[in-house]
Amino acid sequence: MRIIVIGMLAALFFSSTFVLNRAMSLEGGHWVWSASLRYFWMTLFMLGGFLALRPRRLGGMLRLFAAHWAFWLLAGSVGFGTFYALITFSASYAPGWVVATTWQTTILATPLVLLLFGRKVPLRAMLLTGVIFLGVLLVNYEQSGARSWTEILLGALPVLAAAFAYPFGNQLVWEAGQGGRGRVPAIASPLMADAFCRVFLMTLGSLPLWLLLLLTVSPPPPSQGQLLNTALVAALSGIAATSLFLYARNLARSAAELAAVDCTQSMEVVFCLAGEALLLGGALPGAAGWAGLGLTIAGLVLYIRVQNVR
Q: pLDDT tens digits, residue range 258-301?
A: 556 666 767 777 788 888 878 877 667 777 778 877 887 777 67
What is the length of the chain? 310
Dihedral angle sign, alpha carbons of residues 102, 131, 172, 253: positive
Specify the pLDDT at position 310. 46
116-148: buried (b, 16+ CB within 10 Å) or exposed (e) per residue?
Answer: eeeeeeeeebeebbebbbebbbbbbebbeeebe
pLDDT of residue 44: 95
For residue 249, give its domain range: 2-308
CA dist., res. 85 & res. 35, Å (int): 6
Q: Are 266 and 104 spatial neighbours (Cβ–Cβ below 8 Å)?
A: yes
CA distance 7 to 304: 14
Residue 181: strand pairing partners: 184
Please report the pLDDT score of residue 61 as a whole number: 94
DSSP for residue 183: T
pLDDT of residue 84: 94
- The band of 35, judged by pLDDT with boundaries at 50, 70 and 90, is very high
Q: For residues 56 and 46, what is the distance between their CA atoms, to the nearest angstrom?
A: 14
Instruction: State what percent of residues in the chain have pLDDT above 90.
Output: 36
* 51 membership: H or E segment, kind and range: helix 31-53
Phi, psi (5° rounding) for residue 281?
Answer: 70, 25
Whether 117 and 171 have beta carbons less than 8 Å apart is answered as yes
The CA distances from residue 227 to 29, 41, 204, 221, in Å, are: 10, 9, 20, 10
**Rounded Cα–Cα distance for residues 310 and 50 (Å):** 39
Q: With beta carbons less than 8 A apart as the criterion, state whether 273 and 292 touch.
A: no
Write the DSSP symbol of residue 190: G
Summarised one tens digit per residue, pLDDT across range 166-207 is: 889 888 988 898 888 778 999 988 888 887 888 899 999 999
pLDDT reported for residue 260: 63
Q: Which of 79, 56, 82, 133 is nearest to 296 (CA)?
A: 133
CA distance 161 to 80: 13
Domain count within the chain: 1
CA-based R_g, the chain, Å: 19
> What band does 126 get if pLDDT is binned at 50, 70 and 90?
low
**Helices (runs of H) and strands (runs of E) counted in the chain:** 15, 0
pLDDT more than 70, % of the chain: 86
**Alpha carbon distance 229, 234 (integer Å):** 9
- Report how far residue 4's alpha carbon sits from residue 204's, in angstroms, rounded to the nearest whole number: 32
The whole-angstrom separation of Cα 151 and Cα 191 is: 43
DSSP-derived secondary structure letter, 191: G
